[in-house]
Amino acid sequence: MEASKLPGFLLRRMVKAAIVVLAIVVCNFLLVHAAPGDPASVIAGQSGVADAVFLEQLRRQFGLDQPLYVQLWIYLKSVLSLDLGFSHRQQAPVAQLVLERLPATLLLTGAAFAFALAAGVTLGALAAQRVGRWADSVITVVALTFYATPLFWVGLMLVLVFSVWLEWLPSFGMSSVGVEMQGLEVVWDVAQHLLLPALTLGLFYLAVYARLTRATMLEVADQDFVKTARAKGVPEGRILRAHVLRNALLPVITFAGIQAGQLLGGSILVETVFAWPGIGRLAFEALLARDYPVLLGVFFCTSVMVVLFNLLTDLLYAVIDPRVEVAG
């Protein structure tokens, strides 16, 4: 896309993102009200044993005796002022709980995403290049295997092999407990803790990206402009890089954008298995305690992260593909 049209494009996408965020807030609100029983007890985060005075106070605070649209308005206002509610279980504001845990999750998902994308695209491209030969078969089978394996089980098996049997890597947490460290030691320690969870989360998406890259590369390789390049006398290696791969990456980027949400969802499972102190772990703890405000907060926060990520991929796409604005 031409640089002059970028601001307008960006603005349109941001408006769209804002609408999605708003819709998520409404979705949250509806979930609270769709729950069986008293919305106040959902907000209180306690299953039936809350005291009446407290519930009454909540009802007044959220205007639960008023018409639904008033309640929605109150709720919208509070969420948009970044007040995600209060966890009465943990005696802390939800926003604070989530924000504390967010960096750990971003580290984990970021590492897993980078690994999955880099390795997935490479393997997919390799397979497409050697289509029908043994390297292709091996990659295809490996990708299918990871594609069909439950994430949490892969995590457990990695723990079993690398922590329990081989004792190479730590099996839980983000850093070693009770050890004084500084500088690079800390980084090394976190990296060791990160390896298994990031691998677990990444393997599934590696499979997804590898399969997708292989399929789109084969599809692109059949297109007319590749034949043109061949007729021009372009060497095969350059055809692959400059013509096939570049075009094949577009659907992979689109898909990676769509998958961002799944990645964050998967982190709940991985963080549970590895006791990684991120928002996924927070969600699991909230789940055990039926602490709904925290769960809703996690849902809101992850959704916003996905929207932001999609904004980024849109931007990336617009830079790579000159046709974007024409396609609308």
* Residue 235 contacts another protein per CB under 8 A: yes
Residues in the chain: 328
The nearest distance, CB 124 to another protein, in angstroms, is 13
User: Quick one: 190 or 311, whose CB is closer to another protein?
Assistant: 311
Of the candidate residues 100, 136, 189, 285, the single one contacting another protein (CB under 8 A): 136
Print burial letters for 68-83: b (CB count within 10 Å at least 16), e (below 16): eeebbebbeeebeeee
Of the candidate residues 198, 212, 295, 318, the single one contacting another protein (CB under 8 A): 295
- DSSP letter, residue 86: E
User: Quick one: 50 or 190, whose CB is closer to another protein?
Assistant: 50
Residue from 198, 213, 190 nearest 126 by CA: 213
Number of residues that bind another protein (CB under 8 A): 87
* Residue 298 contacts another protein per CB under 8 A: yes
**Binding to another protein, residues 240-259 (CB under 8 A):** 242-243, 246-247, 250, 258
Of the candidate residues 87, 90, 129, 310, the single one contacting another protein (CB under 8 A): 310
- Asked if 291 and 89 touch (Cβ cutoff 8 Å), the reply is yes
**Binding to another protein, residues 208-227 (CB under 8 A):** 215, 218-219, 222-225, 227
**Binding to another protein, residues 147-176 (CB under 8 A):** 147-153, 156-157, 159-160, 164
Longest dimension (CA), the chain: 82
Residue from 27, 25, 61, 26 nearest 43 by CA: 61
Segment near another protein (CB under 8 A); pick from 99-107, 114-122, 179-187, 293-301: 293-301
188-195 long-range contacts, Cβ below 8 Å, gap at least 24? Answer: 190/107, 193/169, 193/274, 193/276, 194/107, 194/108, 194/111, 195/169
x/- track of binding to another protein for residues 56-95 (CB under 8 A)? ----------------------------------------
- Asked if 279 and 105 touch (Cβ cutoff 8 Å), the reply is yes
**Binding to another protein, residues 35-54 (CB under 8 A):** 35-36, 42
* Residue 145 contacts another protein per CB under 8 A: yes
User: Quick one: 9 or 54, whose CB is closer to another protein?
Assistant: 9
The nearest distance, CB 108 to another protein, in angstroms, is 14
Distance CA 93, CA 239 (A): 55
Distance CA 93, CA 301 (A): 14
**Binding to another protein, residues 15-34 (CB under 8 A):** 15-16, 20, 23-24, 27, 31-32, 34
Residue from 206, 205, 209 nearest 217 by CA: 209
Of the candidate residues 29, 276, 292, 314, the single one contacting another protein (CB under 8 A): 292
